[in-house]
């Protein structure tokens, strides 16, 4: 594939593109989350069950694997903290914001990570709505305020009467956020960087805005411990080259991740080498057969919905260049639910651990 075709606006609502840190309509670089299908490893010959301290798997012996968490839900702090309000904080855009009421919280961004943080702090019962990317079970029943994919609807937000809106600049349009502030709703923006190292800062910013700073430190300690433990679980030996592909076949979108895409952080955390970064790619770039063959990945990592959108593993192997890679020749494809793989939040440690298991010991057979 020598280029990528941008989807129509209607298609983008169901197949949103990756974006960069700042909200913008046509310049994407970091994938959203919206799980549609999880493929099973049960039918795959050669997938071996993981064992404690397992040696690195031979990529050629494993075949396709789905990386899964025992539970995709957020683990909340208990007992739930009581917000100490009013709380005055500096929003990421430099605005001073005072929050006086946290009884009706609306956390929204492109990745679902802000909602994940609020639920992780134990304040999920106070959340009144969600974005399209917030798909974990505890929040799935909430009304969606991004009916156009990842565009906020001012009407939908105002109808919920939030007492505070938490967001970052990955979501917009900006005029909607300005409209909400003009209506008297406190809008607190947190930094939009999506990396493992940024997770503690995001937790602290959300906790400060909601008046639960002590709970924030408690959650940071837990998450940092989980991420560190997951990183330590990577086995010794040759680091596999892993290429992350962002696929939306129904919209004609085929991208490969590189340095700063977010996928590179996950790959490095499990002891792998990001194949896109290794050939000089940054963020997300159109997938080309020449580039992928040069990257020579041992493993191809994809989101489950993206894999489904191209017709599964067989469909993926039909894309130009894929079958000519070591990963393609071995059918070494690892997929993971969209709502967990690149959502850098309180589940990140568990996500790294599940991904490491899938890559290094082929995951569990069903």
Residue 20 placed within a domain? no
pLDDT digits (tens, 9 = 90+) for 210-268: 999 999 999 999 999 999 998 887 777 789 999 999 999 989 999 999 998 989 999 99
Residue 42 placed within a domain? no
Q: Do 192 and 308 share a structural domain?
A: no
Name which of 144, 114, 112 is nearest 128 in CA terms.
144
Give the CATH number of the domain where residue 260 resides.
Answer: 3.40.50.1980
Q: Do 252 and 206 share a structural domain?
A: no
Residue 155 placed within a domain? yes
Q: Do 245 and 136 share a structural domain?
A: no
Separation in Å, CA 267 to CA 109, 174, 213, 293, 340 = 23, 32, 31, 19, 14
Q: Is 262 helix (H, G, I), strand (E, B) or coil?
A: coil
Q: Do 196 and 247 share a structural domain?
A: no
Measured distance CA(212)–CA(202) in Å, rounded: 13
Rounded to an integer, what is the distance from CA 20 to the centroid of its chain? 13
Measured distance CA(200)–CA(284) in Å, rounded: 25
Measured distance CA(242)–CA(62) in Å, rounded: 14
Residue 226 placed within a domain? no
Residue 27 placed within a domain? no
pLDDT band at 61; cut points 50, 70, 90:
low
pLDDT digits (tens, 9 = 90+) for 329-362: 999 999 999 888 888 999 999 999 999 999 987 6
Q: Do 243 and 205 share a structural domain?
A: no
Model confidence, pTM: 0.80
Asked whether residue 209 carries a pLDDT value surpassing 80, the answer given is yes
Domain that holds residue 317: 64-73+238-361
**Percent of the chain whose predicted confidence (pLDDT) is above 90:** 70
Measured distance CA(256)–CA(284) in Å, rounded: 6
pLDDT digits (tens, 9 = 90+) for 111-144: 899 999 999 999 999 999 999 989 899 999 999 9
Q: How many CB atoms lie within 10 A of CB 39?
A: 18
pLDDT digits (tens, 9 = 90+) for 255-297: 999 998 989 999 999 999 999 999 999 999 999 999 999 999 9
Do 38 and 334 contact (CB within 8 A), yes or no? no
Q: Do 132 and 189 share a structural domain?
A: yes
> What total number of domains does the chain contain?
2
Q: Do 92 and 69 share a structural domain?
A: no
């Amino acid at each position: 594939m020598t280029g990528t075709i941008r989807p129509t606006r209607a298609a983008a609502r169901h197949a949103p593109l990756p974006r960069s840190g700042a909200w913008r309509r046509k310049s994407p670089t970091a994938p959203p989350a919206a799980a549609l299908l999880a493929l099973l490893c049960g039918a795959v010959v050669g997938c071996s069950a993981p064992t404690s301290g397992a040696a690195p798997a031979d990529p050629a012996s494993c075949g396709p694997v789905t990386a899964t968490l025992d539970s995709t839900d957020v683990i909340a702090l208990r007992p739930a903290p009581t917000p100490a309000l009013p709380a005055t904080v500096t929003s990421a855009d430099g605005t001073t914001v005072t929050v006086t009421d946290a009884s009706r919280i609306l956390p929204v961004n492109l990745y679902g990570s802000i909602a994940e943080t609020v639920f992780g702090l134990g304040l999920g019962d106070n959340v009144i709505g969600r974005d399209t990317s917030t798909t974990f079970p505890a929040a799935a029943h909430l009304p969606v305020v991004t009916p156009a994919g990842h565009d906020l609807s001012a009407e939908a937000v105002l109808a919920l009467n939030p007492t505070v809106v938490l967001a970052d600049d990955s979501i917009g349009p900006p005029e909607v956020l300005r409209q909400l502030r003009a209506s008297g709703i406190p809008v607190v923006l947190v930094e939009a960087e999506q990396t493992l190292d940024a997770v503690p800062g995001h937790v602290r910013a959300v906790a400060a805005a909601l008046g639960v700073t002590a709970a924030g430190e408690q959650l940071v300690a837990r998450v940092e411990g989980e991420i560190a433990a997951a990183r330590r679980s990577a086995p010794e030996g040759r680091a596999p080259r892993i290429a992350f592909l962002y696929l939306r076949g129904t919209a004609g979108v085929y991208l490969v991740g590189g340095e700063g895409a977010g996928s590179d952080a996950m790959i490095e955390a499990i002891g792998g080498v990001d194949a896109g970064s290794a050939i000089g790619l940054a963020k997300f770039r159109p997938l080309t057969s020449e580039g992928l063959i040069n990257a020579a990945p041992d493993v191809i990592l994809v989101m489950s919905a993206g894999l489904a959108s191209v017709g599964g593993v067989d469909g993926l192997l039909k894309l130009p260049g894929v079958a000519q890679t070591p990963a393609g020749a071995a059918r070494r494809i690892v997929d993971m639910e969209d709502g967990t793989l690149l959502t850098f939040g309180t589940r990140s440690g568990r996500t790294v651990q599940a991904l490491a298991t899938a890559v290094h010991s082929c995951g569990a057979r069903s």
